[in-house]
């Protein structure tokens, strides 16, 4: 009888875990960290950093181990929210109006609202600071964010945070009005998100987009968190970088406890991801990858992707080639939100991950993914940068090009396109051996595919290229209107849109 009961239990469990998840309508919590790398998780082998709660989520999740985002932050966010490459959204940079999400694009929260979801964003937006581009106009009911690409950042044009903001006690824009908060920024964002989820959990399904600005630079951790990594010969930046991740980890643990306390663990899909390649932690551990944030190498684009849904998703690895552009179709399907023909066309590059979530070994046709760092000088022809810092890959091979320089040597055949390097990322995940000469037919295929993709961007990639920003950053102007005061001469110089004509200031901007 005991054996029979055990068999029936596992049969029932297996059928539950393998059940169709379309239309299940769980609560969805999406946590996106800023500039944390794939290697900045102790479960991935980091020898110094300790992340017990990341590790717990890792152990309780369906893990996409071959997941790719964009090389920098605003591009990744736009692809996650729309299901299409950032260049199709007009996003080719992180500042100078080139971070603004196409107003015509349909976003994930807009889709989920059609299925009855309450939607909230907490932390970083970075897809346009002017009113028409703000998350409250893009499908989010609850908005609790800083401005620009990071707390305290301010650049010529429209991209910038509230003046004088710091990582401690920041002024946060809450549904159109600034609130002067108390505490460390990551604690502030988690606390507000938890408060909102507590109020929403009995009113129907919710979608919480919780995007920390940590551990993005400047590297400023709470003193007690940074102290955990002192005396390890890491350098001050990395000590604080790891301390910032420790703080995220602690907040994650508290969130997991609240989900259990509320009794909604099994009705909540928690997804965790980093937005791009690593930064201050790369010198300690980069999971054997080449490159980092802002590069087309795997170290610049590979991300961890943990999907935790107790009782529904079985914890294990999935090695299929997956990416940020797959998010909107997947979440829409799980939420039972129908996608209009226009949204299906918009998100044509992405796929629904449901088959893999239910069976990581499910049939998954090969595909091509494209990476480009962007960031060419404002006012120049994007076509001139077509071959700068880019990559195209399928499941086995990656073709990478750092700059449009002429290839050295006397290589013959299709691989002679200047500067292309080819890697078998299954046999050589560290991208150490260029096999372009040995595989000219693969180079030709991937080059042709990349050319076709670039041609298809016409009319989209240039959307924000000629945009002119306002004289003052919208967040700063709104802040002064609410609290009084005004810009100093230094503020005016820093915000001067004319500086955008000279790309020197933009080249030194944060990634």
Beta-ladder partners of 424: 397
DSSP one-letter string for 401-446: ESSSPPPPS---SGGGSTT-EEEETTT-TT-----TTT-HHHHHHH
CATH number of the domain where residue 413 is located: 3.30.1120.10
pLDDT band at residue 488 under the 50/70/90 scheme: confident
Tokens 């990559």 sit at which residue?
Answer: 391
Which residues lie closer than 8 Å to 263 by C-beta, 6 or more apart?
Answer: none
pLDDT band at residue 471 under the 50/70/90 scheme: confident
Question: Do the beta carbons of residue 171 and residue 481 sit within 8 Å?
Answer: no
Residues 338-344 have a mean pLDDT of 96
Q: Give pLDDT, residue 5.
A: 44
Q: Give pLDDT, residue 403.
A: 83
**Three-class SS state of 235:** coil
On whether residue 477 sits in a domain, the answer given is: no
Looking at the fold, whether 407 and 293 belong to one and the same domain comes out as no
Q: Give pLDDT, residue 499.
A: 56
Least confident of 60-74, 125-139, 358-372, 489-503: 489-503
Q: Give pLDDT, residue 417.
A: 44
Residue 310: left (phi > 0), alpha (psi -120 to 50), or beta? beta
What is the Cα–Cα distance from 13 to 178, expressed in whole angstroms? 48
End of a domain among 434, 456, 478? 456
- Counted domains in the chain: 2
Looking at the fold, whether 242 and 165 belong to one and the same domain comes out as yes
Looking at the fold, whether 324 and 384 belong to one and the same domain comes out as no
Residues 393-412 have a mean pLDDT of 72
Looking at the fold, whether 273 and 406 belong to one and the same domain comes out as no
Looking at the fold, whether 236 and 325 belong to one and the same domain comes out as yes
On whether residue 374 sits in a domain, the answer given is: no
Question: Do the beta carbons of residue 374 and residue 92 sit within 8 Å?
Answer: yes
Q: Give pLDDT, residue 485.
A: 87
Residues 490-502 have a mean pLDDT of 62
Residues 303-328 have a mean pLDDT of 98
On whether residue 371 sits in a domain, the answer given is: no
Looking at the fold, whether 300 and 264 belong to one and the same domain comes out as yes
Residue 10 has pLDDT above 80, yes or no: no
What is the Cα–Cα distance from 464 to 172, expressed in whole angstroms? 27
Q: Give 199-246 pLDDT, tens digit per residue.
A: 999 999 999 999 999 999 999 999 999 999 999 999 999 999 999 999
What is the Cα–Cα distance from 99 to 86, expressed in whole angstroms? 9
Quick one: which H or E segment has residue 77?
helix 73-82
Residues 487-511 have a mean pLDDT of 57
On whether residue 494 sits in a domain, the answer given is: no
Residue 285 has pLDDT above 90, yes or no: yes
Q: Which domain holds residue 174?
A: 24-358
Q: Give 160-190 pLDDT, tens digit per residue.
A: 999 999 999 999 999 999 999 999 999 999 9
Q: Give pLDDT, residue 194.
A: 98
Q: Give pLDDT, residue 496.
A: 67
Residues 25-49 have a mean pLDDT of 98
On whether residue 16 sits in a domain, the answer given is: no
Residue 2 has pLDDT above 50, yes or no: no
Looking at the fold, whether 34 and 94 belong to one and the same domain comes out as yes
On whether residue 291 sits in a domain, the answer given is: yes
Question: How confident is the prediction for the chain on average, in pLDDT?
Answer: 92
Residue 407 has pLDDT above 50, yes or no: no
Q: Give pLDDT, residue 123.
A: 98
Residues 299-320 have a mean pLDDT of 98
On whether residue 37 sits in a domain, the answer given is: yes
On whether residue 341 sits in a domain, the answer given is: yes
Looking at the fold, whether 154 and 94 belong to one and the same domain comes out as yes
Looking at the fold, whether 288 and 221 belong to one and the same domain comes out as yes
CATH number of the domain where residue 170 is located: 3.40.720.10
Residue 414 has pLDDT above 80, yes or no: no
Q: Give pLDDT, residue 489.
A: 77
Q: Give 131-145 pLDDT, tens digit per residue.
A: 999 999 999 999 999
Least confident of 24-28, 137-141, 255-259, 506-510: 506-510
Tokens 């992180």 sit at which residue?
Answer: 94
Looking at the fold, whether 166 and 233 belong to one and the same domain comes out as yes
Q: Give pLDDT, residue 502.
A: 42
Residue 503 has pLDDT above 50, yes or no: no
Looking at the fold, whether 425 and 294 belong to one and the same domain comes out as no
End of a domain among 358, 388, 403? 358
Looking at the fold, whether 220 and 173 belong to one and the same domain comes out as yes
Which residues lie closer than 8 Å to 186 by C-beta, 6 or more apart?
Answer: 212, 213, 214, 244, 247, 248, 251
Model confidence, pTM: 0.92
Quick one: which H or E segment has residue 135?
none
End of a domain among 456, 476, 504? 456
Spell out the SS3 assignment of 139-164.
CCCEEEECCCCCCCCECCCCCECCCC
Angle between helix 52-59 and 236-262 (nearest 10) = 50
């Amino acid at each position: 009888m005991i054996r029979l009961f055990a068999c029936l239990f596992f049969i029932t469990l297996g059928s539950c875990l393998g059940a169709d998840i379309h239309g299940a309508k769980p609560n969805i919590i999406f946590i996106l960290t800023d500039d944390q790398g794939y290697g900045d998780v102790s479960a991935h082998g980091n020898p110094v950093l300790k992340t017990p709660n990341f590790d717990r989520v890792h152990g309780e999740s369906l893990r996409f181990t071959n997941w790719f985002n964009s090389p920098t932050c605003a591009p990744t966010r736009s692809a996650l929210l729309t299901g299409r490459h950032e260049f199709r959204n007009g996003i080719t940079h992180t500042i100078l109006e080139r971070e603004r999400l196409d107003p015509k694009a349909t976003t994930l929260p807009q889709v989920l609202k059609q299925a009855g979801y309450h939607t909230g964003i907490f932390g970083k937006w970075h897809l346009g600071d002017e009113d028409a581009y703000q998350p409250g106009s893009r499908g989010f009911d609850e908005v609790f964010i800083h401005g620009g690409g990071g707390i305290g950042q301010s650049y010529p044009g429209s991209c910038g945070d509230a003046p004088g903001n710091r990582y401690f006690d920041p002024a946060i824009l809450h549904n159109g009005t600034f609130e002067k908060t108390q505490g460390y920024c990551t604690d502030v964002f988690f606390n507000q998100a938890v408060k909102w989820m507590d109020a929403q959990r009995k009113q129907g399904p919710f979608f919480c987009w919780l995007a920390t600005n940590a551990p993005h630079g400047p590297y400023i951790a709470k003193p007690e968190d940074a102290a955990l990594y002192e005396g390890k010969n890491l350098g001050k930046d990395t000590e604080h970088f790891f301390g910032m991740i420790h703080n995220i980890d602690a907040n994650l643990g508290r969130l997991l406890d609240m989900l259990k306390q509320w009794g909604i663990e099994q009705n909540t899909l928690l997804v965790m991801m980093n937005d791009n390649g690593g930064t201050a932690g790369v010198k300690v551990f980069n999971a054997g990858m080449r490159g980092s944030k802002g590069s087309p190498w795997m170290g610049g684009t590979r991300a961890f992707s943990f999907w935790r849904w107790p009782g529904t998703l079985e914890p294990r690895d999935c090695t299929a080639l997956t990416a940020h552009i797959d998010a909107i179709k997947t979440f829409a399907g799980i939420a039972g939100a129908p996608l209009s023909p226009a949204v299906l066309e918009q998100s044509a590059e992405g796929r629904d991950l449901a088959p893999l979530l239910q069976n990581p070994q499910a049939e998954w046709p090969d595909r091509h993914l494209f990476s480009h760092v962007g960031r060419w000088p404002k006012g120049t022809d994007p076509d001139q940068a077509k071959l700068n810092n880019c990559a195209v890959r399928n499941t086995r091979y990656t073709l990478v090009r750092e700059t449009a320089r002429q290839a050295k040597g006397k290589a013959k055949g299709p691989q002679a396109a200047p500067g292309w390097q080819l890697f078998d990322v299954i046999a050589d995940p560290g991208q150490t051996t260029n096999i372009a000469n040995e595989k000219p037919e693969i180079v030709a295929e991937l080059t042709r595919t990349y050319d076709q993709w670039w041609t298809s961007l016409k009319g989209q990639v240039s959307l924000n290229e000629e945009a002119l920003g306002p004289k003052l950053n919208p967040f700063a102007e709104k802040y002064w209107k609410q609290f009084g005061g005004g810009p100093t001469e230094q503020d005016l110089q820093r915000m001067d849109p004319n500086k955008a004509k000279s790309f020197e200031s933009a080249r030194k901007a944060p990634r």
